[in-house]
Structures are given as structure tokens and as C-alpha cells.
Amino acid sequence: MTALAFAPLVLSERVVADPPVVLAPMAGITNTAFRQLCREAMATRLDADQVGGLFVSEMITTRALVERNPKTLRLIRFAAHETPRSIQLYGVDPAVVGRAVQMIVDEDLADHVDLNFGCPVPKVTRKGGGSALPWRIGLFDDIVRAAVREARGAIPVTVKMRVGIDADHVTYLEAGLRAQDAGVAHVALHGRTAAQFYGGQADWSAIAALVDALDIPVLGNGDIWEADDALRMVRETGCAGVVVGRGCLGRPWLFADLAAAFAGRPERARPALGEVRATMRRHAQLLADWLGEERGVTDLRKHVAWYLKGFAVGGDLRRSMASASSLAELDDLLDGLDPAQPFPADVLGQPRGRTSGARAVSLPEGWLRDRESRAVPAGAETEHSGG
């Protein structure tokens, strides 16, 4: 395939993804430091006329945003070079979601809002949020319409969702049609149900079915571990672009591969451990710049196992790196890594991050009884829930 086979994803004059690649919002991961790391990697492989992908913030709770929770206000800060600025919002109350979008527009906090209807985590679904919410199609409709209305045409609104709650409660086609009628710019579909969590194999045929059902762009998500998986997803489903989540954990250079792949070029990054070491140090510095040194290095700990996956690194060194609390301490430990060790080819195409499989979905009492109910579950949103 050549670069001409892939049209840019254009949501507005200010919001363009070229190549049509989106960094998926991931709680605790896609902060400004990680977004910058992924942007930098993609920039190394862009053609001169390309602007890069879309890099979305981690999930922001609408109640916390409108109440100006300090943690949330820190999470929505973008670096000066971050354009376009994309925020993902989570909410269950249409009125609160509407106020959050109004605040974003009035205070110029972002250029694009994505609505989260895909999170399968029990603490979210048991309140009727995330991937549980589209089952209550009336409430879903109210939330999406409130967001689009309060965006007032100033910024595009998009939706990210899953196939449904489980195989008996599939929602993606009706939810996609409702979202399109409400005026969203695109819909992204993760090809799993909430019950599948992150296990098994994503159903790309559902993405293809949604492409056939909608007139607006559909983006595909699920099981993109390598750049060539993204190309295969586009070929098999006809989707307008891809959303990449767990595949880039510990591998921000995947975005360099995606830029090359969508441009029709064969080069792929296979960094030796020395290059990975430099990337880890860069990540730590970006986190330190954002959070302060101790908190930044502490935040890097969750990434250590992902960066070192497949490399021959002793358990003691891994554990020490996963408990470092200063840049100087981290530097000493990074010096213990063999820079010449080649990239472990056996991890290519392998799942990263969460891989836990099927489970019962936690839902509010009586959630499945009335699809058209517009009632907001009691206690669904709390101000202190932060990002």
C-alpha cells in the first residue's frame, strides 16, 4: 500500500490526524509525558506534509472537571507544543457532561472531546458508566446530544465504545447510529464486549459492520500490536483509521512504525537495549518535568516491565528499577543494562498490558431491565473521583 491509500482523518480545521492514527486514552498512562514521547517517535517518520496522529488524554471525570478538582485540572494541562489538544471525558449525567464540554469550549481547554463509552473496569460499569452505558440507549443519546450541543460547533465531539456488555447485550450498531444522528465526528469501536475485558481476540468483523452502517468515519481498536496489524485492520474492515492502546505500552516507537506503515514504507523500529534505555530516561525526565522528580520517577515504575519485556535483564535489576525514586538512582540502574543487547524478536505481535479474560460485568441493580430509561444511577458521579 502507498501513502495515497490512506486519507487523513479530518475532524475540524484544527483537528487533523495524518496518518489516521489515534493514541487511545489509558488511565494513568496517557498523561502529557507519555503523549509527548509518542509524538516524538511518530515525528521521526513523518513525511514533510504530514501533521501526525491524534494523542488523547487519559479519561477525565466530568463531575471532577466542573468542580475544578485540582488533580483533574493538572491532568488536562497540555504542553505548549501539543496540538491538537484532545480530552476524553467520562460521565453518566447528561447535564454534567454538557457543563464539562461548555467549560472546555468557553475556557479553550481543548480542541477535541472524546466521550468514553468503552471502559470495562468494574468501578466504572457498576455505576452504569463506560461500556455499560450504551445499553441504556436513551441515557446514551442524552449524553451524546448534550456534549454535541454544548460544543456549539466550536470543537468536534467523538465517541469511543465497545461491542456491548456481553454477547447477549450487544449495543454498538444502535449506539453508533444514535451517535451519528447526534452529530459526532467519528465513532471508534473496540472489538470486544465488556465481559471479554482484555482477553481473547478482538472481533474485527464488528468494526466492519459498523463501517457499513454509518456514514461518518469509524475507527478500529483492538489487537493492534504491530504496525502491520493496523494495515491489516484497515484492509479487512474498511475503517478510516486506527486507535492504538496496549500495543504501545513500553513501546512508544510503535508510532514511528505506524507513520512508516501508513506511508507505505517497510522500515520498522527494533531498538537495541541501549535505545530502549535512552527512551526510558527520556520518559522519566518528561514525567519529572511534569510531576516533580520523585513523583515522576515513581510514576515510571509501572512502565519498567513493559519496556524490558523480552530482554535478558536480571530480576534484581528489574525490581530495583521498579522502586527507583530519583533520576540519579535511575541513571545508576540504567547503566547496568547492556546497550548492545538486540531487540527480542520473539515478543513481536504479543499482547502487552492487561490480558485478563472473560468475567461477569458489574452493573447497577436493574440496569438491564429498561433500555430506554434515562435515569442517572444514584452516586454515579462524585467530585472526588479525579481523572
For residue 291, the one-letter residue type is L
**Domains of the chain, with CATH numbers?**
3-269+358-381 (3.20.20.70), 273-339 (1.10.1200.80)
Active site residue 38: no
Q: CA-to-CA distance for 182 and 172, rounded, in angstroms?
A: 15
Among 249, 274, 292, which residue's Cα sits nearest to residue 342? Answer: 274
- The C-alpha atoms of residue 249 and residue 156 are separated, in whole angstroms, by 27
The pLDDT score that the predictor gives to residue 382 is 54
pLDDT value of position 311? 97
Confidence (pLDDT) at 1: 39
pLDDT for residue 5: 64
Whether the ω angle into residue 94 lies within 30 degrees of 0, i.e. cis, is no
Measured in residues, the chain has a length of 387
Angle at 352 between CA 349 and CA 356, to 5 degrees: 115
pLDDT in tens, 332-376: 999 999 999 999 999 999 998 877 777 899 999 999 998 989 999
Residues of the chain falling short of pLDDT 70: 1-5, 381-387
d(CA 235, CA 115): 26
Cα 292 to Cα 294: distance, rounded to the nearest angstrom? 6
pLDDT attached to residue 385 = 41
